[in-house]
Amino acid sequence: MDVASLQQCAGRTAAAPPHPLDPLSSPEVAAAAAACRAHAAAAAPRLPPLRFNTITLQEPPKADLLRFTNGRGPRPPRRAFCILQTPPIFGVIEATIDLSHFHAAGAAAAAVVSWVAIDGNDMGGQPLATPDDCLEAERIARASPRVQAVLAERGVSMDQVACDPWAIHAGKWKGRMMQVFTYLKLGPDDNEYARPLDVVPVVDLNTGQVVDIEAYPEAPKNIPTAGGNYHRDLVEQPFREAPKPLYVVQPEGPSFKVDGWRVEWQQWDLRLGFNGREGLVLYDVGYTDPQEGGRRRPVVFRASIVEMAVPYADPSSPYNRKCAFDAGDYGLGFAANSLKLGCDCLGVVQYFDAVVNNAQGEPVVIPSAVCLHEEDAGLLWKHVDYRTGYSEDRRARRLVISFIMTAVNYEYCFYWYLHQDGTISHEIKLTGILSTSLLMPGEGDKSRYGTMVAEGVNAAAHQHIFSARLDMAVDDEDGGRGLVVSELNAVRHPSHPLTNPAGNAFTESETDLITVHAARRQSSAADARVWRVKNPARPHPFTRKPVAYHLYTPGGPVLLAAEDSVVARRGKFTTATLHVTPYKDGQL
């Protein structure tokens, strides 16, 4: 997109500058990329061509945003944050682009305000692997004569191979590395995970070379041949009989209202956002309370899923490196589906397009990436007067905000729910296909560290651990500055002839979590443990205790890998159910 086109796009929207939290538009992404290229050409003309990893909104500092939203300060500058690469140089450039005047003055007004080059040897990690990076890793592996020769030893030609690129979090290699798991794919719609191969090339994205190939010491004698297809034209068993049609109709339309990225529903209001790493973000969630004279009560300043870890249990090389941090490795938003291709929302649906970027710095629109709808949620409340037989009941409705992403073999479906009783909940549904491996030599006919899903095909045991970042603002106009988090546990009282003669007494204990170290907590169903996010400045009118939200977490273990494992070192969030830390700008 050239500068003239950008100015035309900007001119069409100049009348309404975006809200400071609105995601970058396509023209803004293109303008940020153009500003980076112009700056590089002027300041470092010998620099290799820029490869754009990420172009995203740089959210304003929290204090500035609060002053603006509360009517006490000016509109914060609108800026884009860019992560750039210059292969074959090992490192990144972090650039900040001011877009504050873009909507009024056009693309020429986009200006670089920060440009920091970071040597790859000084970084504790690497930028995420974008969809373009994953395709590049596959291209490098496919083009390698060495890889082709190893596959030929197994009687497999490259046109029969599917390649799954995975990030590498530890190993003997230095650089921007990816490992490529290979599978036999007998046709364009064949399910490759039914036929895993033992060949795993390791590629360097910066140099464009295969630096290593890992394979079993001897070529496997028997590559699995059984099909396991899901494509409707290839399934070997007929589909089950379909149920009768079920229709959800809303003849009067939905109960929600949408203005740009702002949503209102049943006393709730919030802003939606979207970026390449986290995908869907909720901002400034509030509830207008009729019992408080219609006062809007802040609930959440910002909420998103910021990371997830999927560590696999097989200790054999190369599978002991098999672990995905899907948000940091690939980007939940970069991998988001267009829900036009399939969505489980019924009734009246509002879709939101998302904009990310490709390696050339061009905007990439994901049509209908976010789905907004409301749905019946069963019984909300019911009571029957058993003396008279009189009954009252209320149906529940909930607002659903969702998106779905594909991480190679798996689909993750993320759902935020707002309920009429003031509850907020989050659900993640996992679907897709298991990532498989070929049995190692000497393992016999089964693996100790997985489940056999077909003859010779192992699905290694693994976990899915998610990190939800919740910046709460419970009834606090200052964005949650005055909140305190405490832990509640049920306490069983021993029998006592005076204080508990029947032995039935129990109470709860409450402990404020004051330090970061003390606030690394584990769930405990035996203690009915919950965490309370409370506002001491706002006492409840009846209990006189601080108003609060309770945080309930699902059961399940934290990380099962060893404490000194790579996963535990890189993903500290996996080692505890709850971490409470002070807010700090820039920690996203």
Q: What is the Cα–Cα distance from 6 to 27, expressed in whole angstroms?
A: 6
What is the rounded average pLDDT for all residues in the chain?
93
Mean pLDDT score, 390-419? 97
Instruction: Mark whether 248 and 165 lie in a shared domain.
Output: no
Q: Provide the domain count of the chain.
A: 4
Mean pLDDT score, 70-77? 94
Q: What is the model's pLDDT at position 219?
A: 87
Query: Domain end: 472, 493, 520, which one?
Result: 472
Closest CA to 206 of 181, 183, 173: 173
Q: What is the Cα–Cα distance from 179 to 147, expressed in whole angstroms?
A: 13
Q: Which residues pair with 484 in a beta bridge?
A: 534
The SS3 of residue 56 is: strand
Q: Verify whether residue 421 is a known catalytic residue.
A: no
| CATH number of the structural domain spanning residue 267 | 2.70.98.20
| CATH number of the structural domain spanning residue 75 | 3.10.450.40
Closest CA to 23 of 56, 1, 52, 53: 56
Instruction: Mark whether 452 and 496 lie in a shared domain.
Output: no
Token representation of residue 264: 């209102």
Q: What is the model's pLDDT at position 586?
A: 82
pLDDT at 288 over 90: yes
Instruction: Mark whether 400 and 363 lie in a shared domain.
Output: yes
Confirm if 304 and 245 have CB atoms less than 8 A apart.
no
Could you tell me the residue range of the domain that residue 519 belongs to? Answer: 482-588
Place of tokens 């009989």: 241
Q: What is the model's pLDDT at position 4?
A: 35
Digit-coded pLDDT (tens) for 156-198: 999 999 999 999 998 889 889 999 999 999 999 999 999 999 9
pLDDT at 446 over 90: no
Token representation of residue 308: 């997830």
Instruction: Mark whether 43 and 78 lie in a shared domain.
Output: yes
Instruction: Mark whether 255 and 191 lie in a shared domain.
Output: no
Q: What is the model's pLDDT at position 14?
A: 47
Q: What is the model's pLDDT at position 222?
A: 82
Asked if residue 526 is part of any domain, the answer here is yes
Instruction: Mark whether 23 and 99 lie in a shared domain.
Output: yes
Place of tokens 């009252």: 392
Instruction: Mark whether 174 and 262 lie in a shared domain.
Output: no
Instruction: Mark whether 419 and 517 lie in a shared domain.
Output: no
Instruction: Mark whether 289 and 310 lie in a shared domain.
Output: yes
Rounded to 5 degrees, what are φ and ψ at 439? Answer: -55, 140
Among candidate residues 284, 326, 329, 475, the one labeled active-site is 326
Angle formed by the axes of helices 26-43 and 3-13, nearest 10°: 140
Mean pLDDT score, 239-263? 94
Confirm if 228 and 193 have CB atoms less than 8 A apart.
yes
Digit-coded pLDDT (tens) for 313-323: 999 989 999 99
Mean pLDDT score, 475-487? 96
Q: What is the model's pLDDT at position 15?
A: 53
Query: Domain end: 122, 140, 174, which one?
Result: 122
Digit-coded pLDDT (tens) for 294-310: 999 999 999 999 999 99
Asked if residue 237 is part of any domain, the answer here is no
Query: Domain end: 472, 506, 535, which one?
Result: 472
Q: Which residues pair with 365 in a beta bridge?
A: 355
Q: Which residues pair with 376 in a beta bridge?
A: 397
pTM, 2 dp: 0.94
505-537 in b/e burial notation, b at 16+ Cβ within 10 A?
Answer: eeeeeeeebeeeeebbbebeeeeebbbbbbbee
Digit-coded pLDDT (tens) for 126-146: 899 999 999 999 999 999 999
Instruction: Mark whether 336 and 435 lie in a shared domain.
Output: yes
Q: Verify whether residue 269 is a known catalytic residue.
A: no
DSSP H or E segment with residue 137: helix 131-143
Q: What is the Cα–Cα distance from 75 to 102, expressed in whole angstroms?
A: 14
Instruction: Mark whether 394 and 308 lie in a shared domain.
Output: yes
pLDDT at 3 over 70: no
The amino acid occupying position 401 is I
Q: What is the Cα–Cα distance from 1 to 23, expressed in whole angstroms?
A: 19
Digit-coded pLDDT (tens) for 359-393: 999 999 999 999 999 999 999 999 999 999 999 99
Q: What is the Cα–Cα distance from 228 to 252, expressed in whole angstroms?
A: 45
Asked if residue 410 is part of any domain, the answer here is yes
pLDDT classification of 12: cutoffs 50, 70, 90:
very low
Among candidate residues 410, 417, 478, 527, the one labeled active-site is 410
Q: What is the model's pLDDT at position 440?
A: 84
Does residue 201 have a cis peptide bond before it, meaning omega lies within 30 degrees of 0?
no
pLDDT classification of 588: cutoffs 50, 70, 90:
low
- Report the Cα 74 to chain-centroid distance in Å: 31
The amino acid occupying position 375 is E
Instruction: Mark whether 145 and 95 lie in a shared domain.
Output: no
Asked if residue 561 is part of any domain, the answer here is yes
pLDDT at 466 over 80: yes
